């Protein structure tokens, strides 16, 4: 039986002039995500996007797995294309196609939508007849119009009639690319991949920046970040990762700055470098995985000091979340198992024994100025390593 996927898009952002832009971007993202699975025709009408496979070899389970992760989709469902656009064909197709779902349910109802007004039967009639046909095939089922376990939907559209059962929950959010560009400061930890996912969900296209301090941090630690970003890219789409050589800066911090400010100064310099990468690549904000009070460098006072270093807005989508809430999302987006692999991060290289939890900004800035970091920042920026992140194999 020929099947397609029907996708319902968000309602809230679909107002006024945004709508067209939103839909166009979503369709583009769908095409791009699915292109390696075969050829598809994509149609958009009445708040529904139809994904129509054009090749026989296409695996619809795989298509659904990808569609599930595309932001801007509220629900999606597989639907059978009735061989003919006639009531007879609808009545035959519905019980056959939904056999499994109908067998599992105790109650059901049928909803019919007729956007082709030339179809000779009206919606209530289509629904009634389809319900009767289903009851003939599954006499134990009961109709419940208020709270059915399964809603069977018949859609009579321009060229075809479609039958669909359960709608599945989509990724929500808004299409990546409609929310501007931002730099995600990505480590190998649990938090920053989740932060990246959350901002991509709000339509932000990501560029990743990772700080590496070889030989204190290993090549494998960097590969871990690449693996994490590949998982994030399943939701956010392809992105570029810049690896910043950070060793000289970290060694200088250790030599020239007071130990209690090591982490803070390091974080400020990360912000400064990330800001310059952002400006150069047309990004309008920075994103971090910080959560208030999680560690000494994430107290309000520490965040004041970090924020001061950059002149771009810093998005911290995890700021009010508990660790467990962050972990729950990392499970959902499949980054947890990679994040917990035990590799060092440059943040853990020279950690002070007694970091200041209530730092005074002026003192931190003074201490930082003694380091003479500007030429080192310049040098690091000139030696960025560029890695293309796509969703192909981990």
Distance CA 98, CA 166 (A): 9
* CB 270, CB 307: distance < 8 Å: no
Distance CA 126, CA 372 (A): 77
Distance CA 57, CA 39 (A): 10
In whole angstroms, the minimum distance from the beta carbon of 279 to ligand ATP comes to 17
Q: Which of 297, 299, 330, 391 binds ligand ATP (CB under 6 A)?
A: 297
Distance CA 82, CA 14 (A): 30
Which does residue 186 bind out of Mg ion, ligand ATP, none, counting CB within 5 to 8 angstroms by kind?
ligand ATP
Positions 254 through 273 that interact with ligand ATP (CB under 6 A): 270
**Contact status: 191 vs ligand ATP (CB under 6 A):** yes
Reduce the DSSP state of residue 230 to 3 states and report it. helix
Q: Which of 70, 127, 183, 185 binds ligand ATP (CB under 6 A)?
A: 185
Q: Which is nearer to ligand ATP, 88 or 331 (CB)?
A: 331
Distance CA 68, CA 75 (A): 8
Please work out the total of residues on this chain that contact ligand ATP, with binding judged by CB under 6 A. 20
Handedness of CA 65, 66, 71, 76 (dihedral sign): negative
Q: Which residue's structure tokens are 């570029």?
A: 240
* CB 42, CB 54: distance < 8 Å: no
**Contact status: 250 vs ligand ATP (CB under 6 A):** no
Task: Lay out the site mask for Mg ion across 302-341 (x = CB under 5 A, - = otherwise).
Answer: ----------------------------------------
Return the structure tokens found at 376: 């080192």
Which does residue 211 bind out of ligand ATP, Mg ion, none, counting CB within 5 to 8 angstroms by kind?
ligand ATP
Q: Which is nearer to Mg ion, 154 or 347 (CB)?
A: 347
* CB 152, CB 61: distance < 8 Å: no
Tell me the DSSP string of 143-206. Answer: E-SSS-SEEEEEEE-SS-EEEE-PPEEEEESB-TTSS-EEEEE--SSSHHHHHHHHHHHBTPEE
Q: Which is nearer to Mg ion, 30 or 185 (CB)?
A: 185
Taking the C-alpha atoms of 13, 14, 19 and 23 in order, what is their torsion angle to the nearest 10 degrees? 90
Distance CA 316, CA 302 (A): 14
Which does residue 289 bind out of ligand ATP, Mg ion, none, counting CB within 5 to 8 angstroms by kind?
ligand ATP
Q: Considering only 98-106, 112-120, 150-158, 282-290, which stretch makes contact with ligand ATP by CB under 6 A?
A: 282-290
**Contact status: 210 vs ligand ATP (CB under 6 A):** yes
Which does residue 198 bind out of Mg ion, ligand ATP, none, counting CB within 5 to 8 angstroms by kind?
none
Bond into 215 cis (ω within 30): yes
Q: Which residues contact 343 (CB under 8 A, 6 or more apart)?
A: 188, 217, 218, 220, 221, 224
**Contact status: 295 vs ligand ATP (CB under 6 A):** yes
* CB 335, CB 232: distance < 8 Å: yes
Neighbours of 345 (CB within 10 A): 19
In whole angstroms, the minimum distance from the beta carbon of 236 to ligand ATP comes to 15
**Contact status: 189 vs ligand ATP (CB under 6 A):** yes
Neighbours of 251 (CB within 10 A): 15
Q: Which of 93, 207, 236, 288 binds ligand ATP (CB under 6 A)?
A: 288
Task: Lay out the site mask for ligand ATP across 48-87 (x = CB under 6 A, - = otherwise).
Answer: ----------------------------------------
Positions 313 through 372 that interact with ligand ATP (CB under 6 A): 345-347
**Contact status: 187 vs Mg ion (CB under 5 A):** yes
Q: Considering only 86-94, 141-149, 162-170, 203-211, which stretch makes contact with ligand ATP by CB under 6 A?
A: 203-211
Q: Considering only 11-19, 109-117, 130-138, 179-187, which stretch makes contact with ligand ATP by CB under 6 A?
A: 179-187
In whole angstroms, the minimum distance from the beta carbon of 272 to ligand ATP comes to 13
Q: Considering only 179-187, 212-220, 276-284, 357-365, which stretch makes contact with Mg ion by CB under 5 A?
A: 179-187
Binding site for Mg ion (CB under 5 A): 187, 189, 347
Applying CB under 6 A, the residues found at the interface with ligand ATP are 185-187, 189-192, 209-211, 270, 288-290, 294-295, 297, 345-347
């Amino acid at each position: 039986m020929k099947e397609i996927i029907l996708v319902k898009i968000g309602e809230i952002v679909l107002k006024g002039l945004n709508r067209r832009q939103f839909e166009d971007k979503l369709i583009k993202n769908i095409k791009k995500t699915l292109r390696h699975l075969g050829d598809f025709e994509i149609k958009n009408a009445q708040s529904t996007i139809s994904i129509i496979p054009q090749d026989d070899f296409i695996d619809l389970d795989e298509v659904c797995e990808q569609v599930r992760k595309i932001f801007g989709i509220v629900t999606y469902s597989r639907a059978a294309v009735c061989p003919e656009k006639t009531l007879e064909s609808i009545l035959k197709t519905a019980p056959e196609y939904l056999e499994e779902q109908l067998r599992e349910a105790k109650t059901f109802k049928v909803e019919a939508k007729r956007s082709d007004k030339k179809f000779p039967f009206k919606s209530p009639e289509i629904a009634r007849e389809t319900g009767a046909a289903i009851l003939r095939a599954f006499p134990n089922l009961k109709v419940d119009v208020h709270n059915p376990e399964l809603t069977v939907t018949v859609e009579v559209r321009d060229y075809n009639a479609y039958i669909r059962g359960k709608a599945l929950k989509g990724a929500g959010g808004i299409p990546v690319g409609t929310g501007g560009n931002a730099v995600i400061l990505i480590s190998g930890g649990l938090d920053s991949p989740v932060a990246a996912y959350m901002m991509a969900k709000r339509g932000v296209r990501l560029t990743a920046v990772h700080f590496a301090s070889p030989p204190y941090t290993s090549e494998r630690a960097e590969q871990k970040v690449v693996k994490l970003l590949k998982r994030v890219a399943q939701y956010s789409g392809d992105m570029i990762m810049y690896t910043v050589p950070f060793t000289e800066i970290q060694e200088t911090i250790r030599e020239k700055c007071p130990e209690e400010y090591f982490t803070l100064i390091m974080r400020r310099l990360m912000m400064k470098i990330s800001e310059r990468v952002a400006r150069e690549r047309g990004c309008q904000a920075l994103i971090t995985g910080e959560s208030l009070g999680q560690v000494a460098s994430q107290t309000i006072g520490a965040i004041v000091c970090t924020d001061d270093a950059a002149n771009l807005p810093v998005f911290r989508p995890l700021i009010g979340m508990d660790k467990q809430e962050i972990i729950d999302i990392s499970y959902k987006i499949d980054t947890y198992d990679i994040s917990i692999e035990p590799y060092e991060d440059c943040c853990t290289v020279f950690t002070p024994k007694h970091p200041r939890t209530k730092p005074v900004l002026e003192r931190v800035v003074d201490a930082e100025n003694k380091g003479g970091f500007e030429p080192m920042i310049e040098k690091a920026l000139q030696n960025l390593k560029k890695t293309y992140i796509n969703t192909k194999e981990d």
